[in-house]
Amino acid sequence: MAVSENKITVKDLDFHYGEKQVLHALNLNIPPNKIFSVIGPANSGITTLLRAINRLSELSPDARARGDILLDGQSVYAPQVDVSELRRKVGMVFDVPAPLPMSIFDNIAYGPRLAKVRNKSVLAETVEGALRAAALWDEVKDRLRAPASSLSGGQQQRLCIARVLALKPEVILLDRPCSGLDPVSTAKIEDSLTELKERLTIVVSPHNIQQAGRVSDRVAFMLSGRLVEEGANAEIFSNPKDQRTSDYITGRFG
């Protein structure tokens, strides 16, 4: 594996859906073991960027990427890349809590089972570890066989984080994971993210500027599919270089 300081490198990425260009010559360096926030108003291309990293965008038949994304220095678009393997390494949490219609246990075990983990005690350990890491274990340990839909919205979203963690990923992509959640649930998720960055890399599209300020180590500001600027949290929030960044974070638009 090529040695690289950055966990993820986005190189000159153009992204099209059909005729419509969503990302324009995007360049980003995402360091390991940090929370990297990508902020911007709606239709900035942030969701597209996140989905380009784990190649989930390929589910749309008219999606086209040009340029490259490197994970540990290796192109994720290289022909020898096993997409399933890539997605296990780069987990994703969606903007709506999306438990599958099955039990809490089966939700967490879903990914490992797809990866052919069959051993019952290994699965049980994996599920427990993932739920603990997502700070959900104490709330659900007595009802692992209950349908995941019986959980509250905040619990469901932590379940989705646990489900990703069960695959022991290296990166987690979170697309507005706290939109529609109450402040208590949001705080719990932010806490677990802060703990999780010890062992993995987190790329998040926060649901508001305040959240970006609270959790991020580094922040990138995007507008209409272009990177405006990127820097350390303190830099972006106290001393932005670009007038548009300043306008956005002070709430003048967006």
Partner 1 sequence: MKSTRLSLSPRAAERVIKVFVWAVALSIMAVLVSIVVFILYKGLPVINAGFLTEIPRRMGREGGIASPIVGTLLVTALAVLLATPFGMGTAFYLAEYTRDGAVTRIIRFSAESLAGIPSIVYGLFGFIFFVMYLNLGWSVLSGGLTLAVMILPTIIRTSEEAVRSVPTIYREVSFSLGGTKWQTIRGAVFPSAVRGIANGIILSIGRSVAETAAVVLTAGSALRMPDGVFAPARTMAVHFYILASEGISMDNAYGTAAVLIILIFLINIAANMLIDRLATKGR
Residue 235 beta carbon to partner 1: minimum distance, rounded to whole angstroms: 32
Task: Output 109 or 236, the one with its CB closest to partner 1.
Answer: 109
Binding part of the chain for partner 1, among 22-30, 121-129, 163-171, 224-232 by CB under 8 A, reads 163-171
Binding residue for partner 1 (CB under 8 A) from 6, 68, 98, 229?
98
The count of residues interacting with partner 1 (CB under 8 A) is 28
Binding residue for partner 1 (CB under 8 A) from 114, 122, 124, 234?
114
Binding residue for partner 1 (CB under 8 A) from 81, 102, 187, 232?
102
Site for partner 1 in 131-150 (CB under 8 A): 147
Site for partner 1 in 66-95 (CB under 8 A): 84-85, 87-88, 91-92, 94
Which residues, other chains included, contact 68 with Cβ-Cβ below 8 Å and sequence gap of 6+? 10, 11, 12, 13, 75, 77
Site for partner 1 in 6-65 (CB under 8 A): 54, 56, 59, 61
Residue 92 beta carbon to partner 1: minimum distance, rounded to whole angstroms: 4
Task: Output 161 or 236, the one with its CB closest to partner 1.
Answer: 161
Q: Residues interacting with partner 1, by CB under 8 A?
A: 54, 56, 59, 61, 84-85, 87-88, 91-92, 94, 96, 98, 100-103, 106, 110-111, 113-115, 147, 160, 163-164, 167
